[in-house]
Structure 1
């Protein structure tokens, strides 16, 4: 008698496989659209005021060290400024 119950449950689960595929397809389509047209953080490109090395600056960074000359640099509204640490 158990084989009838488990056979019916198995048949029902097999019948729902396409529906699971539809949900996965919708998820993949939404993820693709989000990555293509979604919110992007802009990166700022600037040059170090001490050594003039060009670098990419993350948008949320206020102060960072130059990877070449190790100068402490502050990010202002429209420029980069060398900070005196002393």
Structure 2
């Protein structure tokens, strides 16, 4: 699966969590731009893990601050 396909699938997953309808860009942050609280992050990560059948470790989650980093991380996990 290429990065563009990963990007498209994540965009479909993020839609219900994007309450403020922020335009999603590579640099869009989850904490500041989307205002995700810890519970929303957990729900969103679970949705991504289910969609791609992967596990995103707590260490990986801590390193992912923006949308582009998430796409890269999921694409990398898909390749493993």
- Fold agreement, TM-score > 0.5: no
Q: TM-score range by the shorter chain?
A: under 0.3
Which structure would you say has the larger RCO, counting Cα contacts within 8 Å and 6 or more residues apart? 2
- Structure label with greater radius of gyration: 1
State the TM-score, normalized to the length of structure 2.
0.22
State the TM-score, normalized to the length of structure 1.
0.20
* Structure with a larger share of its residues in strand: 1
* Structure with a larger share of its residues in helix: 2
